């Protein structure tokens, strides 16, 4: 496995590819993203352990969208069965993905715990759904400080896990090594990821402005708020699906492709026997 260094302009290409592949299978990718979020929301309702388990599922949900985008890029239809792709590729990768999820949950809860030192946990309670957001809370200096501290701490956490699901799934890299390789790849390609982040910010802002104009026009013509709400929710769902569809292209360009799937790896997916060195399970990342 070799790390690739890409020029900064590649960040724009990742955004373009994410949008383009979404429009190849818009309903399938949007539905898959909705199902992943719905599943995590349902799991979070479990007493005591629900929120932690939901957090632990995020790397698997990210992988599902990566594989779905790879399927769409290669001309195949991404089915809802991809929701379980992280759990259907043999015992070795199942354990690795579960470990990765547990590490993410611990890391995220640690970020929330550190932020609680600033505002006695108000931001953490609001973010995790344990308390309503009010104007007084939003204007609190301690709340804002905790929010910005959480954001600063979450950036390195997200870099650690950005490529990790793909490295575990396609290359068979152990979870801790996958975290290390992920953050190294992100830092070595800092320019491309910076452009990528700014480009997506521009897309989100542009879409938000467009939706605001449409909603205002609907209000002027006296149309119901239900239509406006549907447009806002639909646009948010579409943009989120586009964003997660673009993640696989960042992975593809930062690492060399995995070796081809062998019959032995197929056997692992069926009966849990050890995989070959390629770590090939499921759809390959889309070719450049």
Neighbours of 40 (CB within 10 A): 19
Q: In the predicted model, what is the mean pLDDT of the chain? A: 86
Dihedral angle over CA of 199, 56, 273, 164, nearest 10: 30
Question: Residue 153, Cα to own-chain centre: how many angstroms?
Answer: 17
pLDDT over 90 percentage in the chain: 58
User: Does residue 247 form part of some domain?
Assistant: yes
User: Does residue 283 form part of some domain?
Assistant: no
Give exposure, 233-267, as e/b (b: 16+ Cβ within 10 Å).
Answer: eebeebbbbbbbbbbbbbbbbbbebbbebeeebee
In angstroms, rounded to a whole number, what is the distance separating the alpha carbons of residues 190 and 209? Answer: 28
User: Does residue 185 form part of some domain?
Assistant: yes
User: Does residue 282 form part of some domain?
Assistant: no
User: Does residue 287 form part of some domain?
Assistant: no
pTM of the model: 0.84
Q: How confident is the model over 209-230, as a mean pLDDT? A: 80
Which of residues 240 and 256 earns the better pLDDT score? 240
User: Does residue 115 form part of some domain?
Assistant: yes
DSSP type of residue 89 = S
Neighbours of 130 (CB within 10 A): 11
Residue 141 in tokens: 């200096």
Per residue in 118-138, pLDDT (tens digit) is: 988 889 888 877 777 888 888
- Name the residue range of residue 61's domain: 12-271
Strand partners, 255: 3
Taking 70 as the threshold, does the pLDDT of residue 273 lie above it? no
User: Does residue 171 form part of some domain?
Assistant: yes
User: Does residue 125 form part of some domain?
Assistant: yes
The answer to whether the CB of 4 falls within 8 A of the CB of 255 is: yes
In angstroms, rounded to a whole number, what is the distance separating the alpha carbons of residues 175 and 167? Answer: 8
Q: Determine the number of helices (DSSP H) and then strands (DSSP E) in the chain.
A: 13, 0
Domain count, the chain: 1
């Amino acid at each position: 496995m070799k790390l690739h260094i890409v020029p900064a302009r590649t960040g724009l290409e990742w955004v373009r590819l994410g949008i383009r592949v979404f429009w190849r299978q818009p309903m399938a990718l949007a539905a898959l993203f909705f199902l992943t979020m719905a599943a995590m929301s349902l799991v979070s309702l479990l007493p005591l352990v629900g929120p932690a388990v939901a957090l632990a599922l995020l790397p698997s949900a990210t992988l599902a969208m990566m594989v779905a985008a790879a399927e769409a890029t290669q001309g195949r239809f991404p089915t809802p069965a991809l929701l379980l792709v992280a759990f259907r590729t043999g015992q070795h990768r199942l354990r690795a993905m579960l470990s990765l999820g547990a590490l993410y949950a611990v890391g995220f809860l640690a970020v929330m715990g550190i932020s609680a030192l600033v505002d006695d946990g108000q931001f953490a309670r609001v973010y995790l759904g344990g308390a309503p957001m009010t104007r007084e809370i939003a204007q609190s200096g301690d709340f804002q400080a905790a929010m910005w501290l959480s954001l600063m701490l979450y950036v390195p956490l997200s870099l650690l896990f950005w490529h990790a699901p793909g490295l575990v799934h396609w290359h068979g890299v152990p979870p801790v090594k996958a975290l290390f390789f992920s953050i190294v790849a992100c830092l070595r390609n800092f320019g491309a990821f910076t452009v990528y982040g700014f480009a997506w910010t521009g897309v989100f802002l542009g879409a938000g402005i467009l939706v605001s104009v449409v909603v205002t026009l609907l209000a002027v013509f006296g149309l119901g708020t239900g239509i406006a709400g549907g447009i806002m929710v639909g646009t948010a769902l579409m943009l989120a699906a586009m964003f997660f569809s673009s993640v696989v292209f960042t992975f593809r360009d930062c690492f060399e492709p995995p070796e081809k799937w062998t019959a032995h790896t197929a056997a692992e997916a069926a009966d849990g026997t050890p995989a070959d060195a390629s770590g090939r399970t499921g759809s390959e990342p889309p070719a450049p």
